[in-house]
Amino acid sequence: MIDNLDKIILRTLMDNARVSYAEIAKANQVSPATIHVRVEKMRKAGIIKGAKLKVDARRLGYDVTCFIGIILKQAGDYPRTLARLEALPEVTEAFYTTGQYSIFIKVMVRSIDDLQQLLIERIQAIDEIQSTDTLISLQNPIARDVAV
């Protein structure tokens, strides 16, 4: 379990992974060594899994974000399909789901033409896929990490 100081450390690092342990320590009236020990404890426990740089995909020309629900021909087709989807750089996230779709993926492309090409030539061409349903995102008004 994590305590209040661990939660403060997590919130601080989730907001800005570049903040120094000394700054966190000073704000919380503990030593930098305490922060270091706490962060290492959370890394070893698998709570902290590294630090990432956030990139604005739109500024890099990726103007179309969409979600694609995938229905597989058979449940056993999941591992092979997932491997094929993982090989597509446009697929940024994948979820194995219950309900209507077996797999739900997030895709980022530069244009609708690129989306059409991706769907027809590379996703729907995967033999194990029975059908797809595509939802185009108009905006992403809420994007946050889990609350700690």
User: Would you call 68 exposed, middle or buried from its count of C-beta atoms within 10 A (0-12, 13-18, 19+)?
Assistant: buried
Please give the domain boundaries of the chain with CATH numbers for all domains: 4-44 (1.10.10.10), 57-136 (3.30.70.920)
pLDDT in tens, 85-132: 999 999 999 999 999 999 999 999 999 999 999 999 999 999 999 999
Q: Spell 136-147 as b/e; 16+ CB within 10 A means b.
A: eeeeeeeeeeee
Given this model, what pLDDT does residue 144 score? 87
Let me know: does 130 contact 139? Beta carbons within 8 Å. Answer: no
pLDDT in tens, 60-83: 999 999 999 999 999 999 999 999
User: Would you call 115 exposed, middle or buried from its count of C-beta atoms within 10 A (0-12, 13-18, 19+)?
Assistant: buried
